[in-house]
Structure 1
């Protein structure tokens, strides 16, 4: 097989990662942009979504599509509710102070992780995808001066991976529509722009913060539910998504949703291509190097705005 088909396969794998990474990082960016809170426990909300997806599919039983469909709705709602409770009982009492909330979310990370270990166990457990048809992919080559379609052996993907890409795009468009077109998004942007002015106009800022914190956690949990049929649910699986989400948010710009999406696509596609042709370790090294370059030459990120 020529280089081109391999590149197509790598791009598709990278697109799957980019979709999941964008959902996770947008949740993290949303929390920071509106609340100015760095949520260190964000990766554990991701992990909790995957673990709950396993529990829900086991409880529902029946066809895989039924259990997965229920998990796709129930897991993000439960994780979002847990995040709202954490905000109202912990972060609110700290008055959302940046330094103290970092310490608080670190504590929340270990609490969620250890409770999951006690209830779920140390095993990695798979979730069966709702559908997983193997799809052969075509490629083009020039034959006798004309483009000809052929089907290289081994060039294929699954219907579920394509569905993950489509679902990621749909949810991201939904988040954009909510932020740009809805009254809820208008209120969130008002709180983000000036908290004191929002309070003066009667906006319940603390309720908005709780809603945003829950929404960010729910997006991370949704990303986990989408990816867990490809990977497996494990109580330590939150570390990598957290680090990658921070990488994306730093590159894109703290609090910038368009920058976060662009950076997620950049990191996801480069990770997929470099992992296929070289090694996953090299992909992580290059991502870290890119973060360092951004911090040196453009500290506010690619799409961020320099603070006055």
Structure 2
């Protein structure tokens, strides 16, 4: 077996990483693009989504497919409700001040993390995959569930794009992003838009966690690495640029898969961090980032 099978395997693993990273990072990018808030607690919404997935799997027991579908519905609802409370009673009271909200979301991060440690415990917990099917490729069999992750993420991202570009709320979001004061003058309820955006971003993070927990176990600290990778993706893609975020997630995810298989995961993380430095020096707006647009 030559070089080709290993490259295909590395690319597929990278696409799985990219698919989950896309869902995680677009939520972070959306919140910054519309609200101009750097949500440091975004990784904890991801972690809470994984815990909900584990809880549902325990409640359902011997029916993993039912538990998976239930978690896909419940996780964004539960996490979105928690995000709404954070936005309504913390960020809104701070009037979305950039510096103050960074400090506030750091506080939210530690509160959610310690709450998860108290009620969930310090140990990683497995979640069963909804199905165990291997798809036969030219050189090897590959997990059907991992291919499903790629497909589900693609459908959700296309749905988000259609919602953002075609729906009335998407139009209101874009108007608020371009000029908050003018939007308010024309009667757009800016605070309600911010609530919706914050909940939507948290919901996508929760869905990403549900998809990945059958591969990576649920753990109360799992949001830290996810948050770091999401920030790397958002910076490279362009702050507030949804298209740039998706492109950067694909580049980082596939590169991470290929480098991890042929070299080491540590080298992959080092290269991703170096890419951020290069982008900040030579193209601070990111790959597709433009001032006042997403």
Deviations 1:58-84 (A, max 9, x none): 113341101111011101111011101
How far apart are residue 44 of structure 1 and its match? 0.5
Q: Which residue of 1 aligns with 2:130?
A: 130
How far apart are residue 305 of structure 1 and its match? 1.6
Q: Tell me the distance in 1 between the aligned counterparts of 2:60 and 2:92.
A: 36
Q: Which runs of 4+ in 1 moved over 2 A?
A: none
Structure 1 alignment gaps of length 5 or more: 139-151
Q: Which residue of 2 aligns with 1:87?
A: 87
Q: Tell me the distance in 1 between the aligned counterparts of 2:59 and 2:191.
A: 35
Q: Tell me the distance in 2 between the aligned counterparts of 1:90 and 1:306.
A: 27
Deviates more, 1:54-63 or 1:34-43: 54-63
Q: Tell me the distance in 2 between the aligned counterparts of 1:156 and 1:204.
A: 52
Q: Write out aligned runs for 1:229-308 (5 A).
A: 229-306=214-291
Q: Tell me the distance in 1 between the aligned counterparts of 2:289 and 2:71.
A: 35
Structure 2 alignment gaps of length 5 or more: none
Q: Tell me the distance in 2 between the aligned counterparts of 1:65 and 1:119.
A: 25
Q: Tell me the distance in 2 between the aligned counterparts of 1:66 and 1:172.
A: 23
Q: Write out aligned runs for 1:178-193 (5 A).
A: 178-193=163-178
- Structure with higher Rg: it is 1
How far apart are residue 9 of structure 1 and its match? 0.5
Deviates more, 1:155-164 or 1:278-287: 155-164
Q: Which residue of 1 aligns with 2:48?
A: 48
Q: Tell me the distance in 1 between the aligned counterparts of 2:21 and 2:142.
A: 19
Q: Tell me the distance in 2 between the aligned counterparts of 1:293 and 1:136.
A: 40
Q: Write out aligned runs for 1:50-89 (5 A).
A: 50-89=50-89
C-alpha contact 1:9 1:156 (8 A) present in aligned 2: no
Q: Which residue of 1 aligns with 2:97?
A: 97
Is 1:210 paired with 2:210? Answer: no
Q: Tell me the distance in 2 between the aligned counterparts of 1:117 and 1:306.
A: 40
Length-normalised TM-score, structure 2: 0.98
Q: Write out aligned runs for 1:122-201 (5 A).
A: 122-138=122-138, 152=139, 155-201=140-186
How far apart are residue 306 of structure 1 and its match? 4.8
The 3 A distance-change label for structure 1 pair 306 and 187 is closer
Deviations 1:241-267 (A, max 9, x none): 100000000000000000000000000
* Pairwise CA RMSD: 0.9
Q: Tell me the distance in 2 between the aligned counterparts of 1:95 and 1:267.
A: 34
Length-normalised TM-score, structure 1: 0.94
Q: Tell me the distance in 2 between the aligned counterparts of 1:135 and 1:305.
A: 41
How far apart are residue 8 of structure 1 and its match? 0.3
User: What is the count of residue pairs matched by the alignment?
Assistant: 292
Q: Tell me the distance in 1 between the aligned counterparts of 2:2 and 2:260.
A: 18
Q: Tell me the distance in 1 between the aligned counterparts of 2:291 and 2:282.
A: 12
